Amino acid sequence: MTPNSRLASIIALMLLLLSCSRPNDGMVRGNKAVNSILDSVEYIMDHDSHYADSLVRLIDPQSIKGKKLRARYALLYTATQYKEYQPFTSDSLIMEAVRYYSDKKNIDYRFLSYYYLGCVYWELKKIYEASVALAQAELLIDKIDNDFWKGLLCFRLGTVYHQCCHYMLASEYYNKAVLYYDLSGKYYHKNYSLFYMAGCEENMLHYKEADSINQLVQDWALENDSISLLKKAVISRFTINLNWDEMDTASYLFDEYISHYDESNSQILCQLLAYYYDRKKDFSKAEDFLNRARNNFTSNEDTVYWHYYSYLHAKEKGDVEGTLKHLRIYTSLDEDYARRVLNDPFLGIQRDYYQKVAELESAKAYKRITILVASIVAFILIFAFSIFLGLKRRRDYDNQIREYISTINELTTQISVNQDKISNLNTKVRDMIRSQFNPSDYLYTRYYEQIDDNKKAERVYRVVRNQVEGFTNRKNIDHIDELLNETFDGIMNKVLSSGIDIIEKDLLILRFVLAGFSSKSIAALLGDKHLNVNQRKKRLLDKIQIKDPILMKDLSIALNDK
């Protein structure tokens, strides 16, 4: 806000106060005056939150009449309080805005109400509720034009998944925030998001990528005199290079930091230096810095991290008793670490789960949810959970399959009396290979049969399409080929080396038929009609019969076995 515009707004406010306030009261009343204040708050809150906060506090909330104005006040008051780091004790105020705008045409306010509801829940440490509210805001992200708001939402979603140790998804959202902030010209926010994205890369042990990202942040902060962000970037690079065993670079970064900021006795730096000397096996210096750090505690958080670095120190020394002692204390104090160690069930719930919950809540707000949509949502949630359990089952199947194949190979070298046993094991292997794909076959068949039943189904079945894309990627196709080759005497290698000109789509059909998928399931996977799949399969087999009868004989054995 320019000085002239700010002066004009102050004069306008004074006139409003004179006309609408009680004598010596200082509070603004009357719907017209309140709306004028809220107009100013909305206009300036994204670039001058402190001034916006001072304006909204002039309003007497008890004097506000009407649900519409009350909802607007609740939304903008919550927004300014959040931007000014004010503590929240409940969600009651922002819920007034959510309830009012959930079925109104004002998409911007509906988006903001869900976003700030998520922020309030985040501050109240209700991660599940925050995730659902933010997912509801995300449903509207393509319907709003404000890139800065989009950046805020993506950054907050990144912090939610970062907190829950879902680092890959968190990094994706931070990257989206970077793009939106760049479009809106919010370069500090952009670099702050980059800093957090580097933290995710570090947690995934991608040290080179993390250091490169923080180098960009460091350069920008130095050029734009952003001291706090510069400190964060340099310290983060120091830690990354320690973990990366780049000791010379870590030493250089520490010297550079100290040359600009005389904080050599700060608690965090003392702990980092203790870790640095532990990595260099200079344990006496490490203990000295840990003692210095202990003398500079200012909060409970300092105690938590001191025990963490003490745990690392004892571990490097080979002090088993000390390692266990500090690890027990640290894990009892630090909730984030305990979540990683104990694999909090929250981490097993994927992003699509929250997306479906959000869509269900939105449908309830419009009072138009149907039994079909509800059943589809329930079906997808159950299937998502089955995928989680099915991964272990699939690995077990793979191990059993390989054991059976190994036994078959051993038996084939023995006399013919083992033929019946070989045949039984071959049948078990082939049945198990197809059984592991039964859940996917069932899901894709249902998807194919129901996708046109209701317009809502297309949106709700988005998770199935994501599963389809993952199932038809190169890695999974190679895995299917490997299983088919091991089971049917190298059948896919024979097809691929036959010299017959077969297009990729027909090869996919052949793979899935051999693996036990139905025509409808294959149609869902390939985005086609099941009648077309049957026709293409018949034409392909006829072509192979003409070109290579011996190969067709092998295929017939495999298909008849199915």
- 279-306, pLDDT tens digit by residue? 878 888 888 888 888 877 766 777 877 8
Q: How far apart are CA 83 and CA 54, in angstroms?
A: 12
Query: Residue 325 has which token pair?
Result: 């002692």
On whether the CB atoms of residues 69 and 33 are closer than 8 A, the answer is no
Higher pLDDT, 212 or 489: 212
With vertex at residue 98, the alpha carbon angle to CA 93 and CA 102, rounded to the nearest 5 degrees, is: 165
Instruction: Name the residue with higher pLDDT: 386 or 43.
Output: 43
Distances in Å between the alpha carbon of 53 and those of 38, 42, 120, 128, 220?
11, 10, 17, 29, 29
**In sequence order, what DSSP letters do the residues of 416-454 get, joined into one string?**
GGGHHHHHHHHHHHHHHHHHTTHHHHHHHHHHHHHTTT-
Query: What pLDDT shows up at residue 351?
Result: 44
CA 224/CA 226 separation, integer angstroms: 6
Mutual angle of helices 267-279 and 227-243, in 10-degree steps:
20
For residue 66, the SS3 value is coil
Question: Tokens 């344990």 belong to which residue?
Answer: 283
pLDDT band at 370 (very low <50, low <70, confident <90, very high): low
Would you say 106 and 118 are in contact if contact means Cβ atoms under 8 Å apart? no
> Which whole number is the average pLDDT over 112-123?
93
Please provide residue 279's backbone torsions phi and psi, each rounded to the nearest 5 degrees.
-65, -25
The CA distances from residue 388 to 349, 379, 393, 395, in Å, are 9, 14, 9, 12
pLDDT in tens, 190-208: 999 999 999 999 888 898 9
Are 562 and 549 contacting, i.e. CB atoms less than 8 angstroms apart? no
pLDDT reported for residue 469: 67
- At 346, the pLDDT band (50, 70, 90 cuts) reads very low
Max CA separation in the chain (angstroms): 109
pLDDT of residue 121: 92
Higher pLDDT, 406 or 239: 239
Residue 201 makes CB contacts below 8 A (sequence gap 6+) with 167, 171, 207, 209, 210, 213
Structural tokens at position 305: 């991290």
Looking at the predicted structure, is the pLDDT value of residue 7 above 60? Answer: no
Question: pTM to 2 decimals?
Answer: 0.55
**Segments in 164-296 forming alpha helices (H):** 167-184, 187-203, 207-223, 227-243, 247-260, 267-279, 283-294
pLDDT at 56 over 60: yes
Q: Give, in order, the Cα–Cα distances in Å from 240 to each of 140, 199, 209, 237, 261.
A: 37, 9, 10, 5, 20
Question: Confidence band (pLDDT; 50, 70, 90) for 1?
Answer: very low
Distances (CA, A) of 212 to 201, 219, 238, 328: 10, 11, 12, 34
Q: How far is 384 from 439, CA to CA, in rounded Å? A: 11
